[in-house]
Chains A and B, each alone.
Chain A
Amino acid sequence: MLHVSNLRKSYSEGSSQRDVLSDVSFIINRGELIVLLGRSGSGKSTLLNMISGMDVPTTGSIEFEGQDLTNMSDTARTLFRRKHLGIIFQSFNLIPTLTVEENILLPLELTGTANQEQRQLALDVLREVNLGDRGDSFPDRLSGGEQQRVAIARALAHKPSLILADEPTGNLDFRTADTVMDILQRLVHDERRTMLVATHDRDIIRLADRVLELQGGKLKDVTPAAQHEAAQKEAAQQDVEAADNASPGV
């Protein structure tokens, strides 16, 4: 469904060029849950910006449902995004001047096609995230967890092909994160929707089909999640042993 080929994004700093992303290629298939790993500065945000169509690469292509995003105008990409993408941000990013219901319907409202059926759909999604009664409230009345749930609902309401999420549980406490996790699992994973998540959350990684790791702008590894976890465990084990050997008589 999503083909990323030879993606390169570079910025000029003075006389030299700096590559934020270089030669990134991968495929995401329908129904997959992919986790994107990488430290700060690894180019994660840039990659997500490209895929969502909010930015364009220097070279390379991004093919989404058969259409090349890199050849489209800003407005075309926006419309595309509006139709096919759902985005969940780390800091909720609800529109404060819209009610919860209006926030959820935002993409549809922007298209101007929010008819009765779709409204019903939105309410359904809201109920799915257990906020069915909060439709008329404004975001500043909701707690952090509630806001994130609304954000998820918004990302799903227009039935997008691909959902992008950036640290969806990053700002939440353990308990709330759990709830959100549940929802993600239920509404995304179980429904076999395609999702690309940037996260460090172990539970999400465990759910993932594959793990993409970015290091210094290059795609380092593309491993199945289970393998990744195993690899992590092993790495951790080695660290402990090394520590033991290093300090005698403890």
Chain B
Amino acid sequence: MIRLIPLVLLLLAVGCTQPPDALEMEDALNLAEAMGGDTLGYARAVGPKDFDFPSDFGAHTDFKTEWWYFTGNLRSEDDRRFGYEFTLFRSALRPPDSLASPSDWSTNQLYMGHFSLADPETGTFHAFERFSRGAAGLAGAESPPFKVWLEDWTMESTATDPSSLFPLRLQVAEEEIAIDLTLDAVKPMVLQGERGWDPKGEGNGNASYYFSFTRIRTSGTVTIPYGQYDVEGTSWKDHEWSTSALGDDEVGWDWFALQLDDGREIMFYQLRREDGSQSPFTGGTLVNADGSYRHITRDEMDLRVEGQWESPLSGAVYPSGWTLTLPGEDLTMRVTLVMPNQELNVSVRYFEGAIDVEGSSNGEPITGVGYVELTGYERPTS
């Protein structure tokens, strides 16, 4: 689904127009702001296009923003539950140009990596962030063969056929937390929106190119300070790229990826507007067990918030439970977080939470797992 860096929304007119005052280059390098900024000169997603795989698995550097996003729910042999998120973002700092430099280090691309691990048993949520320039081999995205990396955080295809995406291996480590997972998709790719072109706001080009792999068999190891665990589970992959997807009046979204035990998946996002109302661009996708899928409109989905949680760190108040109903499918889903605090407090602040699904479909009880992403809930900065 759309996973835009929330601060793009802020669209500060930074850069050239600032008075030449002294500079801030520590801690929050205001990278997020650096990653925002002018959208002139980039390619835009103006309409559906024919994708070219495997090369479209890699980077699209003429677009401003891009990410490769993985989430998953895992269980160890002794039934210990984990939820992970591993995303690598690419942001273009400047529009593409023909300037060359004798140095390998020169680049217009900035990479950001997010890694979070939810450990509900201990109630701990680990979140990490890294930055690197997309040059000198420090970070980048290539395909074929598929490899996206930021220093030693890697997403790499291990298939013998170089044009094949799966199986792929995720390796992330930070301090004492690490994951090393092998992923293999069990269902084919889902092109979101209209054949992979997903409009999100008014105006030409406020859209992204977006496809997903909605059910991926996962196995590997999770390492936490207490030890290393062999795990198995299900993951979800999104790859999306765009240049300013959101409209001016949209402040954030609530995005759900639900993987039901009857073999279906539902992706649904609600775009929230400034005035609190729901944007008409709200929508989603329903994927059947056989891999066929259809678009879900906002009218089809009834979304109700069932609780709130206030972050002690940021003060943002997030919804903490939902009921999603698709009457047309006779599907009711109660969505709950596996643990309340799954907020990432990094240079951009958002909530990425592993969830449990419990509900009924056609009268039969169903369960499932998934992930919810909540953005745009920060208290406005004074």
Taking the complex as a whole, does A directly touch B, i.e. does some CB pair lie under 8 Å apart? no
Chain A residues engaging chain B, CB cutoff 8 angstroms:
none
Chain B residues engaging chain A, CB cutoff 8 angstroms:
none
